[in-house]
A = this chain, B = another copy of it.
Amino acid sequence: MEHDEEPAKIRLFVEAELDAGVSVGVTAQQAHYLKHVLRLGTGASVGLFNGRDGEWAARIDGIGRGWASLAVHTRTRPQRPDPDLWLVFAPIRRARIDFVAQKATELGAALLWPVFTQFTVMSRVNTERLRANAIEAAEQSERLSVPAVREPVSLDTLLAGWPTDRRLFVCDETGTAPPVATVFGASTLPRGTPAALLIGPEGGLAGAELDRLAKLPFVSRVGLGPRVLRADTAALAALACWQALAGDWSD
Contact = CB atoms under 8 A, between A and B. Distances in A.
Given A224-B244, A244-B245, 10 more contacts: A103-B236, A106-B227, A108-B225, A141-B227, A141-B230, A142-B226, A179-B250, A226-B248, A233-B236, A237-B240
Interface of A: 80, 103, 106-108, 140-143, 179-182, 184, 223-230, 233, 236-241, 243-245, 247-251
Contact of A140 (B140, B228, B247, B248): B228
Nearest to A144: B227
A225 to B, nearest CB: 4
11 contacts: A106-B229, A141-B228, A181-B244, A224-B244, A225-B244, A225-B247, A225-B248, A226-B251, A238-B240, A241-B244, A244-B244
Contacts of A80: 226
A225 B247 CA distance: 9
A138 to B, nearest CB: 9
A240 B236 contact: yes
Contact of A142 (B223, B227, B240): B227
A50 B140 CA distance: 41
A107 B251 CA distance: 25
B179 A251 contact: yes
A179 B244 contact: yes
- Among A224, A225, A226, A250, max chain B CB count under 10 A is at A225
Contacts of A244: 179-181, 184, 224-225, 237, 241, 244-245
Top 10 closest A-B pairs, CB basis? A225-B249, A237-B240, A142-B228, A181-B244, A240-B240, A241-B244, A141-B228, A179-B250, A180-B244, A106-B233
A83 to B, nearest CB: 9
A179 B233 contact: no
A141 B173 CA distance: 12
Contacts of A247: 225
Contacts of A239: 237
B143 A227 contact: yes
